[in-house]
Amino acid sequence: MGAAVAAATSLAPGLSAQASPDVNDSTTQRSDDRQDDQSDARRALVEQGVAAVVNGEATPVTKGKGKSVEVSPGQWAQYGLQSTDSILTFLLEFGDQVDPRFPSEPAGPVHNQIPKPDRSKDNTTYWVDNFDRAHYQDMFFGDGESMSGVYREMSSGRYTVKGDTSDWVTVPYSSASYGQTESQADMTRFIRDGATAWYEHQKAGGKTDAQISEYLRGFDQWDRYDYDRDGVFTEPDGYIDHFQAVHAGEGEEAGAPSSTIWSHRWSVGQRLPVGPEGNKSGGVQIGNTGLWIRDYTTEPENGGLGVFAHEFGHDLGLPDLYDTSGGENGTGFWTLMSSGSWLGHGQDSIGTTPNHMGAWEKLQLGWLDYATVAHDAVDATVVLGPSMHATKKQQALIVTLPKDANGKDRFYIAENRQYAGYDATLEVGPYNFGWSTTKPDWVEHFPYQDGLLVSYWNTAVSNNNTRTHSGTGRVLPVDARPSALRWSDDVVARNRIQSFDSTFGVEATDPISLHRETADGMTTLEVPAQAPVRVFDDSDPNRYYDAANPMGSVKVAGVGVSIKVVQSNKTGKMTVKVNG
C-alpha cells in the first residue's frame, strides 16, 4: 500500500462537474452528460454489443477500418476505438452585449482575468499566469502529462488524440446570456456564436471558404451514429468528430456564479431538420464551409487536465459513474468518470492529473485485455498484470454470471490497480476538505489502496444513482471493508472516503487521519491499519453492504462466486483464483 496521510493540499470549495460536491458546498450536483437521444441510443447499443461479446454470443467483424457488432438485424455497434482522433478546440471569451433577460449581469469575462490564488489559503484552484493557445496545445497534445498521453496509456497504445486549438475569439454576449439557463437554445446559440466568431477570424486572416473547408475536413473522419446504417464507423459524416468550446473564466462546477457555464457534454440543434446533405441530424454549420458541429464538450479557462479528459470520455460514449441524483456512491476516486478526474499530485491544485478509468469503461471502448471465467468454474487461476496498461498478463478478470430473472446480463470485473502511470495519483491525489469555515479552499490528502478492485456490472440498472436505488447500480465497486466509517461525532463519513480501502489483497492497509470542521468544533476520522482481505465471496448478497451507509458499496449477485488473491509482487503481477 502507499504512504500514510500526506500533508494538506488542493481543490476549490465548489464541486466538480464530474464528481459529487463537497459536503460543505451548497451547489446541487447534476450530471454533466446531458440528454441526447442519439447519444443515449448509441451507448446502449455499445453496451449490448460488448456484453454479447463477453458472453460469447457475438463476434466482432471488420467493417471499413474498424470492427463492429451486429446487435440486432441492421443495427450495428462500434466495437473498440483504435485510431488517432482529431480534436478541434475553440477558445471563446465573452463580449459586452447585454441580454435583456439579464440586464444587470456584467460584460465578459475575457481570458486571463482569473485572480491568482493565495497559496497560504488555497491549495485547490488551478491557475497559470497565461491561459493562451500554447497552454492548451501543451495540455492536450504535449509530450508531458496531456490528453493524448492519458488516452494513449488508458488504451494501452490503441488510441490517442491530436488536433488544433484556436486563438481566443469573442462571442457577442456576456457569460450570463449563455450560462444562466444553459438551455438547449442558449447552448446552441453559444456554439453557433463561437463557430461564427472563429470563421470570421479565419476570413479576416485571408482564408477562403475552400481553404477553411479543407482544414475542417481533417476533423471529420468518424461516423459517430452510423447514419447510413452500413456498420462502418470509420468514415466522414459531415460533422466535426470531436469539438471542445473552452470558455473564459471559471466553471460553475468549481464554485463560480450560477450565471457561468457548467462543464458538460451535449449536442446542439437536436431534432432540427438541418445538417450536412444526406445526414440532417441537427447542429450548427461553421460559416459556409459545409462542415457542422453537433456533439460538443465545454470546459472553463482554468480547467485542469482532469475535466477535459472526463468530458472527452463522455464524447467517446461513456456515462457518468458518480451519483447524478445528488447522492454519493462508492465510485469515489476510483475512476476518471467519477471523482478521479479531480486527482493530482498532492501539490498546489487539484484536477491537474486524473487517474485511469476503470476496467468496465475500458471494456466499453475496446481497450481491455481480459480473461473470462464462468461463475461455476472450479479452481480457475488467472495471473493479472497492472490494469493501467496491457502487459503479457491480463489487465482484468471477468466472471460471467447467470442472467437475472428478466434475462439481463451480470458480471464481476476484477482489476489489479497499482500505483503506476496515471494511476500513481491514487496514492497522493485523493483529498478531503477539512476546514469548511477557516480554510474553505484547503484540502488534506490520503491514499486510496492498491490491490484487486472488484466491480459488479448489472445491465438491469441504467445508472449508479444509489440515492434512489441503494445497493444497486450500473457498475459499482465492491467495498472489501463495508462497515461504515464514522467521524468522532458519530457522523458517517462520505463515500469518497469510505471507498479508500475497497480493494482486496495480501497487504495491510495504510492508516489515515482526516479532519472535519463543524459548528461545534473540529472532528476527526482515525482509521488504523487494517488486516488484508484476500477473498471476495458473494455467497451472501449483503456481505459487502452496510445499511448504515446505504449509498455505499453494492449488493452482490449471491451465486456462490469467490475470488482469492493468492499472491501479489512488487512488479505488479497478481495471481487470483476463482472458486478455489
The model's pLDDT over 491-535, given as tens digits with 9 standing for 90+, comes to 999 999 999 999 999 999 999 999 999 999 999 999 999 999 999
Residue type, 93: E
The pLDDT, as a whole number, for residue 533 is: 99
Question: Is there a single domain that holds both residue 361 and residue 247?
Answer: no
pLDDT at 545 over 80: yes
Question: Which of the 8 DSSP states describes residue 482?
Answer: -
> Contact at 8 Å (CB) between 21 and 27?
yes
Do 410 and 351 belong together in one domain? yes
Please report whether residue 64 resides in a domain.
no
Q: Are residues 136 and 279 in the same domain?
A: yes
Tell whether the model's pLDDT for residue 280 goes beyond 50.
yes
Q: Summarize the confidence of residues 84-94 as an average pLDDT.
A: 99
Task: Quote the pLDDT of residue 255.
Answer: 87
Q: Is the pLDDT of residue 156 over 70?
A: yes
Q: 153 with 279, same domain?
A: yes
pLDDT of 335 strictly over 60: yes
Handedness of CA 245, 222, 217, 192 (dihedral sign): negative
Strands across the sheet containing 264-267: 160-173, 84-97, 242-247, 295-300, 264-267
Cα–Cα distances in angstroms (integers) from residue 572 to residues 335, 410, 451, in the given order = 19, 28, 9
Asked if residue 280 and residue 364 are part of one domain, the reply reads no
- 129 and 261 part of one domain: yes
User: CA-to-CA distance for 150 and 249, rounded, in angstroms?
Assistant: 25
Q: What is the mean pLDDT of the chain?
A: 95
Percent of the chain scored above 70 by pLDDT? 95
Q: What's the average model confidence in pLDDT over 474-498?
A: 99
Does residue 186 lie within any of the structural domains? yes
Looking at the fold, whether 219 and 288 belong to one and the same domain comes out as yes
Q: Show which of 294, 315, 336 is a domain's final residue.
A: 315
The pLDDT of residue 25 is above 70? no
CA 165 vs CA 26, 200, 261: distances in Å: 34, 16, 20
d(CA 12, CA 14): 5
Question: Are 215 and 127 within one domain?
Answer: yes
**How confident is the model at residue 29, as a pLDDT?**
62
Would you say residue 439 lies in a domain? yes
pLDDT of residue 407: 97
Q: Indicate whether 19 pLDDT > 50.
A: no
pLDDT at 24 over 50: no
Continuous H helices in 339-472? 359-365, 425-428
Is the same domain home to 374 and 257?
no
Per-residue confidence band for 570, with pLDDT thresholds at 50, 70 and 90: confident
Q: What is the pLDDT confidence band of residue 94, given thresholds at 50, 70 and 90?
A: very high
pLDDT for residue 580: 85
Residue-wise pLDDT for 355-368, tens only, equals 999 999 999 999 99
The reply to whether 219 falls in a domain is: yes
pTM for the model stands at: 0.95
What's the rounded mean pLDDT across residues 29-56? 94
Is the domain of 389 the same as that of 282?
Answer: no
User: For the chain, how many structural domains are there in total?
Assistant: 2
Helix (H) / strand (E) containing 497: helix 495-498
Kindly calculate the radius of gyration of the chain based on its CA atoms and give it in whole angstroms. Answer: 23
Query: What is the pLDDT at residue 26?
Result: 31
Q: What pLDDT, in 10s, does the model give residues 434-468?
A: 999 999 999 999 999 999 999 999 999 999 999 99
The yes-or-no verdict on residue 212 having pLDDT over 90 is yes
DSSP string, 262-277: PPEEEESSTT-S-SST
Buried b / exposed e over 203-226, threshold 16 CB at 10 Å, is eeeeeeeeebbeebeebbbbbbbb
Confidence of residue 224 (pLDDT cuts 50, 70, 90): very high
Query: Are 169 and 220 contained in the same domain?
Result: yes
Residue 52 domain-assigned (yes or no): no
What is the per-residue pLDDT across 406-420, written as a single tens digit (0 to 9) for each? 999 999 999 999 999
Residue 31 pLDDT exceeds 90: no
The mean pLDDT value for 117-135 works out to 98
- Per-residue pLDDT at 9 exceeds 60: no
Residue 216 has pLDDT above 50, yes or no: yes
Tell me if 89 is assigned to some domain.
Answer: yes
Q: Which of 402-406, 451-455, 568-572, 573-577 has the lowest mean pLDDT?
A: 568-572
- Going by pLDDT thresholds of 50, 70 and 90, the confidence category of residue 12 is very low
Domain end residue (candidates: 315, 334, 360) = 315
Looking at the fold, whether 307 and 354 belong to one and the same domain comes out as no
Percent of the chain predicted with pLDDT > 90: 93
Judge whether 229 lies within some domain: yes
Whether 236 maps to a domain, the answer reads yes
- Express each pLDDT in 176-203 by its tens digit: 999 999 999 999 999 999 999 999 999 9
Domain assignment of residue 460, given as a range: 6-16+346-578
What size, in residues, is the chain? 580
pLDDT of residue 227: 96
